[in-house]
Amino acid sequence: MVAQGTTSLERKKTTVQPVHSGDRLMVDLRDPWIAAFLAWLFPGLGHFYQRRYAKAILFCVTILGIFVWGLYLGGSRELGWGRVVYFSMRPGDRRYPFFCQMWVGLPVLPALIQAARVNAGKEPLWHYFMAPPILGPDRADPQDLYPPFTLDTLHKRLHRYFDLGSIYTMIAGLLNILVIYDAFGGPVWTEDQARGEDEDSETE
């Protein structure tokens, strides 16, 4: 039973009324701001913090699975893996899809590290994993297993898979926005459930 002094909004955030049961299932969202931050930091981590373990596993496996599949499509052994996820705001190469991909959280951190190294004039790490392409003509060295190709070369070598990999990784990031919202706001209420809670509050 919810305390009489608790507001209707607070009850909606912490109580779920199952469809097939008259009992109330209490859901402790803990600190919603921390939960939302953790959900952005790593998919499912916010729900794990809230002890909503089933959702945590579901979101983690689903979103990371989509993201990793996009990384696989958008790379190769010759070109380097994960070439569809990189950060660049250089003239002639403004990577706007990254602002969708970034919502996956820590998995895109290598892209920021690689961008910082390239902007500082340093060679990218990890065989160009998530590294931005070079600007200007290719400088492929036959002795280099992972030459830093241009964006045009990546499109030509990967064909449609560059766009497919970009779309998959963008979808993963956008889906995690919904996960962040769920961690912050809690389960969605139907009109019947909300009406039932309001009627209970009037009778208490």
| Ordered DSSP codes for 161-195 | HHHHHHHHHHHHHHHHHHHHHHHHH-SPPPHHHHH
127/193 Cα distance (integer angstroms) = 53
- Give the number of other CB atoms < 10 A from CB of residue 39: 29
For residue 47, pLDDT beyond 50: yes
What is the band of 114 on the pLDDT scale with cuts at 50, 70, 90? very high
The answer to whether the CB of 169 falls within 8 A of the CB of 72 is no
The residues pairing with 80 across neighbouring beta strands, listed in sequence order, are 76
Q: Which parts of 46-140 are beta strand (E)? A: 89-90, 93-94
Which residue is associated with the tokens 């049961």? 21
User: So what's the pLDDT on residue 25?
Assistant: 53
Phi, psi for residue 130 in degrees, rounded to 5: 60, 30
The tokens of 31 are what? 């600190």
- pLDDT-above-90 percentage for the chain: 50
- The string of pLDDT tens digits covering residues 65-113 is 999 999 999 998 888 899 999 999 988 888 999 999 999 999 999 999 9
112, 137 in Cβ contact below 8 A?
no
The answer for residues whose C-beta is within 8 angstroms of residue 113's C-beta and 6 or more apart is 125
Q: pLDDT of 14-46, one tens digit each?
A: 444 444 444 445 567 889 999 999 999 999 999
Which H or E run contains 23? none
| 3 state SS of 86 | coil
Is residue 107 packed enough to be buried (19+ CB in 10 Å), middle (13-18) or exposed (0-12)? buried
Strand partners, 93: 90
